[in-house]
């Protein structure tokens, strides 16, 4: 199998894009650490992987805390004797008009959506270099890293940063045989979009196919990026937006 013997971490692996990616990476043979704030749902994902003869473990984490991310990576490498990559995917939204975008609302999203990616890249790359292994880092950006809509100043700042951090990290880590790539999803049918049916229909309509994108479509790209078939893709953030930004 394509990812046999690979040990990979998926943050935000309990739900949505992260969950589907964890399932697909395990199907390709990887051992997957499903890392999430939501421990119960992370355990459910592990159970689903194991029921399909895959290998996985859950790990409770707040990715906005650097020490937690370092501990996750150390724990993974100690448990399995290796560590080959991380999908920095956990994220939140916190929508407010700009004049209500107080420092707490701004910093919350920057910490969870941007600083977490730095922690995963930094501690992840250091561990791979220490172990002397090649590896792959995949980051979740967003179409909102390249365009703007009202109410998302904090999210735009975080996701634009993730895009350029992906490029910059790839440039610096190539000499260590570590690839850094990203995905920029459009509007994906996950809990982050909320429950409002009209809003979801409106967002779906923005795509060429006039519907929300299912999370497994993003996972298809994420799992491909972790394979050697993607070895010539580096520093790029791949849109998975059904033509929205084209």
- Site residues, ligand NAI (CB under 6 A): 11-12, 14-18, 36-38, 61-64, 89-92, 112-113, 140, 142, 185, 187-188, 190-193, 215
What's the min distance (Å) between Cβ of 134 and ligand NAI? 25
Q: Check if 155 is active-site.
A: yes
Beta strand 237-240 with 135-140: parallel, antiparallel or unpaired? unpaired
CA distance 113 to 128: 23
d(CA 110, CA 75): 25
Q: Which is nearer to ligand NAI, 129 or 193 (CB)?
A: 193
Q: Output 32 or 61, the one with its CB closest to ligand NAI.
A: 61
Closest approach, Cβ 217 to ligand NAI, in A, equals 11
Instruction: State the CB neighbour count (10 A cutoff) for residue 150.
Output: 9
Least separation in angstroms between CB 132 and ligand NAI: 29
Decide whether 36 or 242 has the Cβ nearer to ligand NAI.
Answer: 36
| Given the residues 59, 144, 155, 202, the one annotated as active site | 155
Picking from 1, 23, 107, the residue whose alpha carbon sits closest to that of residue 10 is 23
CB of 71 to ligand NAI, least distance (A): 13
Region for residue 16 given its phi and psi (left: phi exceeds 0; alpha: psi -120 to 50; beta: otherwise):
left
**Identity of the residue, 61 or 225, whose beta carbon is nearer to ligand NAI in the bound complex:** 61
Helix (H) or strand (E) holding 222: helix 215-226
Give the Cβ contact number of residue 89 at 10 Å: 29
Which residues are designated catalytic? 155
């Amino acid at each position: 199998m394509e990812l046999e013997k690979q040990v990979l971490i998926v943050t935000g692996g309990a739900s949505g894009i992260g969950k589907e990616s964890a399932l697909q990476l395990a199907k390709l043979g990887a051992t997957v650490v499903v890392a999430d704030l939501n421990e119960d749902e992370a355990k459910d994902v592990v159970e689903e992987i194991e029921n399909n003869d895959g290998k996985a473990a859950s790990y409770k984490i707040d990715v906005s805390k650097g020490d937690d991310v370092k501990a996750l990576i150390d724990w993974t490498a100690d448990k399995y004797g290796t560590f080959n990559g991380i999908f920095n995917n956990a994220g939140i939204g916190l929508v407010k008009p700009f004049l209500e975008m107080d420092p707490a609302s701004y910093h919350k999203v920057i910490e969870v959506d941007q600083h977490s990616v730095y922690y995963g890249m930094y501690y992840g790359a250091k561990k791979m270099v220490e172990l002397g292994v090649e590896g792959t880092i995949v980051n979740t950006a967003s179409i909102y890293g390249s365009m703007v809509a009202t109410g998302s100043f904090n999210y735009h700042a975080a996701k634009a940063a993730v895009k350029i951090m992906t490029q910059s990290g790839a440039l610096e880590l190539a000499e260590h045989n570590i690839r850094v790539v990203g995905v920029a999803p459009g509007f994906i049918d996950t809990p982050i979009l909320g429950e409002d049916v009209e809003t979801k229909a409106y967002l779906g309509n923005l795509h060429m196919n006039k519907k929300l994108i299912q999370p497994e479509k993003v996972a298809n790209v994420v799992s491909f990026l972790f394979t050697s078939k993607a070895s010539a893709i580096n520093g790029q953030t791949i849109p998975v937006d059904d033509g929205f930004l084209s």
